[in-house]
Structure formats: C-alpha cells, structure tokens
Amino acid sequence: MGFKEIASSPLLYGLVIVGILMVAAYAAVFLKKAYGRCLALGFDRKTVNGVIKSSLTFSVVPSISIVIGFLTLSAALGVPWPWWRLSVLGAVGYELMAADMATKGMGYESLAAMAQANDPKVFGAVMFVMTIGIIGGLLFVLVPFGKKLTTGMMKARKSTSTWGVVFSSCFMLTMVAVFLPLMVTGDPVQVAVLATSAVVTVLLGLLIKVTKWAWLNDFVLAITLIVSMVSAVGWNALLH
Amino acid sequence: MDKKYERGIHLIGRIGLIIGIAFMLGIPAVISAVYDVWPSSITQVMTIGGGLLLMFIPTALAEVISYTPVLGSSAYITFLTGNVMNLKLPCVINSHTLTGTTQGTDEGDTIAAISVAASSITTTLIIIVGVLLMVPLRPILTSPMVATATSYLLPSLFGGMVLSFMNESCGEYIAKGKNLVMILPLVLVFVINLVYPLSGKEGFAVLACMALNVLIAWVLYKKNIIKMVPKDAAPGKSE
C-alpha cells in the first residue's frame, strides 16, 4: 500500500470518525453540565440561550476558514487525517505550517511532491510529527495543572480585597498589549481591517442603543467579522 | 464556586483530555502498526520534525499557561478542539460582554464553558459539511477573493474585541484607570517587534507581558491610581 492508499484507507476513516464523535459527545456533555450550572446560578434561559445562539452564529465564519485549510491539506494528505487534525487541538495556521515543515524535513519540495512520491513510511512520520508538535500543552500543563490555574484565578478574584478583580482583568489587557502592536506593524491592509472591525463594532453598539434592538447584541461579533473580512477584499485592492 | 460542580467539571475536563490524547497518539500508532509504516526511529521523527518541534512545543506550553486563566474551566474543551485565538477566545470574550460577566467568577467561568462548547459543536458540524461537500465547495472556497478575506480573519476579530478588552467594567466593579496598566507593555512589544519580529512567538510575549502587567497593576492599585467603584449586579441574571 502506498502513501495515498493509507491516507484514504477505510481504517483511518473509521478511527477518525470515532474520534470526532467522541469530541462532539464531550462538547455536548460540557454544554449540558454548564447549562444546568448557569440556571442554578440564577441566569434565565433567555440569556443562556442568547449566549449559545451568539456563539453558534459567530463560529460559522471562522469554521469556514478551517474548511478552507482542510481543502488545502486534503489535496496532499487525503481526507481523514486533515479532518481529524482540524477537528481536535490544531489550528488552521499550525496544521498548514506543520505539514509543510514536516514535508521539508523529509527532503520534499512540497506537500504535493511528497504525496506524488507515494512512500508509505512518510505518512506514519508525518502523522506523529504533526501530533507531537502540538500535544505538549495538554499533556504537561492542562492535565496536571489546569484545575490549579483556573481555581487559583477564582480564589484571587474572590479575596476580600478588590485587588483580585484588578488582577484577573490583567489577563485580558495582556492580549491587547501583545496583539495590537503586532497587528498595527503588519501590512496596511491588516491595519485597515483592524480599524474597520473596531468601527463596525462601535456603529453596531450605537445602532442597538438608538433602536433598542437588544436581540442584535447576539450577532454583533458575527456581523463585525463578516463585514471586516469583506472589507479586506476592498482594502486589498486599494492598498496593494 | 460550588465544590461539586467544580470537581465535576475538572474531572470531566481531565478525562476528556486524556481520552483525546489517547486518540491523538493512538490513531497514528494503529495506522503505523496495521500498515507497517512506523517511523524507523525516534531520531527520524526528530530529524524530520526538529524545526517544527523546537518551535511549537514551547509555544504550545506557553499558550496553555497564558490562556487558561482567561478561559477558566472551558480551557479543557478549548484546547482539545483547538483554534483558540481565531475562534474560542473571541467566543469567550463575546459571551462575557453579552452577560456582563468576567472570568474568575462562577458566572463568567460557566458562561465561557457554554459558549466554547456550543462553538466546538458548530465547528465540528461545519467541518463535517465541508468534508461531505468538498467537491462542489472547493472552487468557491479556494477562489482568490475568499482566500484574501479569510487571511484577514484575526484583525477582523481583534478590532472589535479590543473594545471589549478595554472596557473598564469588571463584573460587579468599574475599574477606573485600569487601561493605564497596558501602556508600558504595549510600547515595549511595539519596539521589540520592530527590532526582533515576534510573529509566531506570541505565546512567549503573552507570558512575559502578563507578569509585567500584574506588576504594573499592583503598583497602580496600591497608589490608588486604579480606583474600584462598585456597580449593580450583572444584567441577565434574575436576582
């Protein structure tokens, strides 16, 4: 059996489908448990359902970008392996880069060239390299220390002093401090898209305030994302 | 947090992760055993993936340490299903904004778990649709226009999210002056990035800035430059 046959083998399909069903079931159990807890904490169903609706609508567009990553990888690595890698743990950017680096590490010019060579041994190595590269955070941090990291934060937040409240908000500000400078020193299209996203969010906020369309709150992130991504096409034509 | 819920959610989180890790390593192992395609040695894996492993193992560790305090107990499902920065973290921020909650509280933690779980299920279903419809979808999704739009996913998200991050509301308090905390780290990252590009090393930058931010916040809090003003209970909760 060659690389391509193994990459599209029924066994790999079967294992991947079972794995993905497990992940989906895990998400469903998490959702059920957290939903019950939210009601117990005093949230009304309308608010909780609003959060679910908002998360669902927002997740559609980034998920399409994951599908695009899947289409790119599947041309060389077959359907099941990229399907699995993009459904668990991975990120579109990581998987594309990891597959590319593993390919070059094996001396091939590109993913397509590696698939063309049809060497079955290569497939085993690619699967392991792509997995090991990203599994460390789960294995060495989250499984042993996940509870400590989250409950420690809660303990700090609940302390009698208001310092805990300030402390916990530092983490969000860190995201701005790191990602904002990286983005504004990027290409001009990136800066324009970033500004568009901020402006659209403000405008939607104003629209909600003026019209009192509270239902629109659930869709602010999704609308901002779509409008900003569409604007990227226009900015790209204008600035490049 | 209710001890029973806390124990339960962390237990489910850990069990799910261990099963997930078993699948992640088990699938390549089963395929390698059945088709006799084991890498010839650990050395071969290290040679092939040396650059990748050197770059990503520390990054993956730093990301989990950095983002878990923001994600709370939803970190388990977030990291198991991946796509943290472009999907799960925005979902968490959005759910906190919608409900007026913050991380580090029971309410914020549980709302985050709901939003990440719903998002994970959506992504799983959309990828399944993508797999089933890959033949008709390929020409549309690989068109240059869609490629351009999707390559700007992060700035499209971040512009709006920055406003949420900078909101002075912190659950039951307004933290006046808290945004002063990030000025120095922001300038430092800006300058360092000009000299030494940080792209791909964001996890480390977050970790370093987090320590600096906490230190600055402590000084500003002690000097009473950050002022905490109590406000009414979060909206959306029936009191």
Residues A232 and A193: their CA atoms lie apart, in Å, by 6
Q: Where are the domains of chain A?
A: 3-185, 186-240
- B110 pLDDT band, cuts 50/70/90, is very high
**pTM here?**
0.81
Asked if B35's CB is within 8 angstroms of A105's CB, the reply is: no
pLDDT in tens, B59-94: 778 778 878 888 889 999 999 998 888 889 889 989
Domains in chain B, number: 1
User: What is the model's pLDDT at position B35?
Assistant: 92
Residues A197 and A207: their CA atoms lie apart, in Å, by 15
User: What is the model's pLDDT at position A160?
Assistant: 62
Cα–chain center distance at B3: 25
Residue B61 maps to a domain: no
Asked if A16's CB is within 8 angstroms of B27's CB, the reply is: yes
pLDDT in tens, B197-209: 887 777 778 888 9
Query: How far does B36 lie from chain A, in Å, by closest CA?
Result: 8
Lowest model confidence (mean pLDDT) among B21-30, B119-128, B133-142, B184-193: B133-142
User: What is the model's pLDDT at position B234?
Assistant: 45
Cα distances (angstroms) measured from residue B35 to each of A6, A12, A236, B87, B152 = 8, 11, 47, 36, 40
User: What is the model's pLDDT at position A142?
Assistant: 85
The identity of residue A92, as a single letter, is V
Partners of residue A54 in chain B, C-beta under 8 Å: 94-95, 98, 115
User: What is the model's pLDDT at position B11?
Assistant: 92
User: What is the model's pLDDT at position A159?
Assistant: 66
User: What is the model's pLDDT at position A113?
Assistant: 80
> Which residues of chain A fall short of a pLDDT of 70?
92-93, 158-160
Query: How far does B232 lie from chain A, in Å, by closest CA?
Result: 15
Residues A234 and A240: their CA atoms lie apart, in Å, by 10
Give the number of other Cβ atoms within 10 Å of residue A44's Cβ: 13
Lowest model confidence (mean pLDDT) among A71-75, B48-52, B233-237: B233-237
Residues B23 and A16: their CA atoms lie apart, in Å, by 9
Residue B216 maps to a domain: yes
Asked if A125's CB is within 8 angstroms of B48's CB, the reply is: yes
The interface predicted TM-score of the complex, written ipTM, equals 0.82
Burial class (CB in 10 A: 0-12, 13-18, 19+), B36: exposed
Residue B121 maps to a domain: no
Residues A134 and B68: their CA atoms lie apart, in Å, by 16
User: What is the model's pLDDT at position A44?
Assistant: 93
Asked if A124's CB is within 8 angstroms of B31's CB, the reply is: yes
- B232 pLDDT band, cuts 50/70/90, is low
For B179, the domain range is 171-239
How many residue pairs bridge chain A and chain B with CB atoms within 8 Å of each other? 546
Full DSSP string of A110-138: SHHHHHHHT-HHHHHHHHHHHHHHHHHHI
Query: How far does A229 lie from chain B, in Å, by closest CA?
Result: 5
- Going by the DSSP 8-state scheme, the letter that residue B53 receives in this structure is H
- Going by the DSSP 8-state scheme, the letter that residue B237 receives in this structure is B
- B171 pLDDT band, cuts 50/70/90, is low
Taken in order B212, B213, B214, B219, the sign of the CA dihedral is positive
Maximum alpha-carbon separation in chain B: 66
Asked if A24's CB is within 8 angstroms of B121's CB, the reply is: yes
Q: For residue B228, which phi and psi values (nearest 5 degrees)?
A: -100, 120
User: What is the model's pLDDT at position B77?
Assistant: 92
User: What is the model's pLDDT at position B235?
Assistant: 47
Residues B58 and B64: their CA atoms lie apart, in Å, by 10
**Which neighbouring-strand residues pair with B169?**
B174
More confident residue, A139 or B131: B131
Partners of residue B113 in chain A, C-beta under 8 Å: 30-31, 33-34, 37
Q: For residue A42, which phi and psi values (nearest 5 degrees)?
A: 105, 5
Across all residues in chain B, what is the average pLDDT? 85
pLDDT in tens, A21-74: 999 999 999 999 999 999 999 999 999 999 999 999 999 988 988 888 888 888
Asked if A38's CB is within 8 angstroms of B60's CB, the reply is: no
For the CA atoms of A144, B120, B153, A176, the dihedral, rounded to the nearest 10 degrees, stands at -40
Residue B146 maps to a domain: no
- Going by the DSSP 8-state scheme, the letter that residue B17 receives in this structure is H
- B20 pLDDT band, cuts 50/70/90, is very high
**Half-sphere exposure of residue B107: CA atoms within 13 angstroms, side-chain side:** 25
Best B121, B132, B146, B167 residue to mutate vs chain A (most A CBs within 10 Å) = B121
Residues B13 and A146: their CA atoms lie apart, in Å, by 9
Residue B236 maps to a domain: yes
Residue B205 maps to a domain: yes
